[in-house]
Amino acid sequence: MEKNLFYKRRIIKQLYLSNMLSCAELSDKIQKSVPLTTKILSQLQEEEWVVETGYAASTGGRRPVMYSLKEDVMYVVSVAMDQLVTRIAIMNMRNRHVSDVTAFELSLTKRADAPAALADSINEVIRRSGIAKNKIAGVGIGMPGFVNAVKGINYTFLETEGATISRYIASRVKLPVFIDNDSRLIALAELKFGGAREKKNALIINVGWGVGLGMILEGELFRGHEGFAGEFSHIPLFLNNKLCSCGKSGCLETETSLLVIIEKANKGLKAGKLSLLKELPVDNPEQAYQTIVTAAGKGDKFAVEILSEAGYNIGRGVAILIHLLNPELIILSGRGSSAGKLWQAPIQQALNEHCIPRLSVNTEIGISALGFHAELTGAAALVMDNFDSDHVMNAAAETVPDVFMQP
């Protein structure tokens, strides 16, 4: 690989991740001399990839010039999947959507043609955007299941014969494709652009149809030996004899997932519980959950009780994580984070009861500012985080090399 191109990609990656950097800061991040960094920056400016964006704040002495990527110089296709719904967005270099987010039902357990349907939908979103594929760096996909990001395999969903899911989608959309577990991409988004930025040890709880976990340990996203770390949903915490989606019983998910919250709400309403809520649509869990959150926000006692019970049980699981990992920050993110502060009190109550105070006293519990869009942001970050990787980019060039020959 031509060295000059490699250094350009490293600078592009760092400017994407940091938004704005000085030449000295870039030199430090790419671990190359200031003269070489200055030379590459000049080339990127001439090629209209990079622009000067003013001066750094004064700390005494001459203020350094700051540089940023042009936001429309390149794009990323971001895909956020869960077991029921898939969202697709095209994002620029500032993580802004350049078109509306496309959302559609795609059951990963009931549709054997899900990989083909996903590829077709990605192609359709790109076609409607009018953006040429040679201006798209790649496709990042977050998905539930046991995902090995290095091999591009999901061992739980999206089976394809004769190819990994990443290669299958890449062959259909003619773009490089990168996949990872949805909860890890939410954690990546929080690490690079959210509340976990600059944090050494943080845990990101993805509250959704399951309860996922992304771990940031020593400032890095932790995937584990095969990429399966963080299966928080399947901690065997209850003796409730409830079958979990994993085939075991008593998992954390069986008392805390949003689907369980909806089920308990409908059961209580049928039993005559007084509530602003009416019977919730079982065929539209997104709408059902948001209806519960809205009612809780208006002070509905029954809705608050259901969310609080789930929050308390999540807190029991969090107490185990604190004992094991001693994080400085825990962020509640993903679809379920729309309940906001309603989660914090019951989780804290569980920590008060089940956690050794010395271990939990300095652990902060926060709500994601990225919210439901965290996975889309993480999917974009996944593509750009691999932008300067030799072996990944060489493999990607088999699908559409032009974008990687630029700048």
Kindly give the interhelix angle for 344-354 and 301-325, rounded to the nearest 10 degrees.
50
The pLDDT of residue 2 is 67
Tens digits of per-residue pLDDT, 67-124? 999 999 999 999 999 888 899 999 999 999 998 999 998 888 878 888 999 999 999 9
CA distances from 126 to 77, 194, 382, 397 (A): 8, 27, 19, 19
Q: Match 């997104």 to its residue by tokens.
A: 286
Within the chain, what is the greatest distance between any pair of CA atoms? 74
**Residues contacting residue 381 through CB under 8 Å, at least 6 positions apart:** 17, 140, 185, 188, 189, 192, 193
**Region 196-369: CATH code:** 3.30.420.40
Q: Kindly report the pTM of this predicted structure.
A: 0.90
Q: How far apart are CA 240 and CA 248, in angstroms?
A: 11
Give me the residue spans of the domains in the chain. 3-69, 75-185+374-405, 196-369
Same fold across 3-69 and 75-185+374-405: no
Q: Match 């046991």 to its residue by tokens.
A: 146
Q: How far apart are CA 34 and CA 46, in angstroms?
A: 18
**Region 75-185+374-405: CATH code:** 3.30.420.40
The pLDDT of residue 395 is 46
pLDDT lower than 70: segments of the chain: 1-2, 58-61, 390-407
- The fold adopted by the segment(s) 3-69 is Arc Repressor Mutant, subunit A (1.10.10)
Tens digits of per-residue pLDDT, 375-398? 999 999 999 999 987 544 554 454
| 385: enclosing H helix or E strand | helix 374-385
Q: How far apart are CA 134 and CA 236, in angstroms?
A: 47
